[in-house]
Amino acid sequence: MEKSPATEVSDLPASKRQRPNHPDTAAKYKGPSVDDFAPTSMTRAEFDLLSRNQQKKVMRQEMWDERSAEFKEKQRIKRAESRRRQKRRIAAGEAPAKRKPEEQTRSGYQFVIDMDFDDKMADKEIKSVCSQIVRCYSANRQGPQYSDLHVTKLHTRCRQRFDTAITDHPSWMPTRISLHDTEYMDLFAKEKLVYFTADSPNIVEKLDPKKVYIIGGIVDKNRYPRLTLDKAEQQGIAHAQLPIGQYIQMSSRKVITVNQMFEILVKFIESGNWKSAFMEVIPQRKFKDDKPEVSDSESAQEDSKDE
């Protein structure tokens, strides 16, 4: 009977490969063991009563608590170096200088970021959307004009994320952003509200300073189509989408991040030109075939803005 050829170790799945026995290589695999761990938050007897997974969680948490101060110090040094690099880029003319608050004027436009989707996001998506709020605040401070920006229904995990990871938010300028636990319906008249949603059949051609425009604060990877449109219709408020399709062709559904949406609005307020706002903010990879397509209506709409 013919023997089957020997299976190479590299052909086996990772879970079935044996760890190398060479001491120098094996040392790379060696990590802390719960069997040798000495817990500080409980007695060893209490620790031994836990399941193996619970023991590992306790061990990881205590190890993190011990190293968090060191980690925070490294992050502080990294941020300081980043600020120095940015100053050098500004001095060399490679980046725009930050505007001082007194150099900005109020645009008169009002925007809301609706954070009422906490239960529909995974933890990593909560982290992402909160980071996008930080970028929105930064964008509102950098342009020649700033708008009234409100973040509503900031509660549960998103609020916890702000309180634990974005600890400088209490010092944010209240004229550039306002954080609320309440719903936007409690802050503004219903007839003033317009919900931006990619599923709306209505197209916004220009912004109205008498309106309050709402951006859905969610990272959903297209898992919840019509989510924001359904909410707007249930509340009986107006809804619309940006005229993205009139100026560029995107390779996928016209969904962009929260900060990109706000940055587009900021750029449009500055220039009055949708095309330049889209081109400046939307990443090139989202364009169909990496080439933006301009519709025949572009010149007519730009002429109407100039009148």
Tell me which residues are annotated as active site.
220
**3-state secondary structure (DSSP) of residue 197:** coil
Structure tokens at 292: 């933006």
Q: Are strands 145-152 and 178-179 parallel, antiparallel or unpaired?
A: parallel
Q: What is the largest CA-CA distance in the chain?
A: 90
Length of the chain: 307
Structure tokens at 119: 């239960």
Note whether 190 and 207 are within 8 A (CB). Answer: no
Q: What CA–CA distances, in Å, run from 215 to 112, 136, 239? A: 6, 11, 10
Closest alpha carbon to 100 in 209, 176, 169: 176
Amino acid letter, 107? S
Note whether 62 and 40 are within 8 A (CB). Answer: yes
Bridge partner list, 172: none
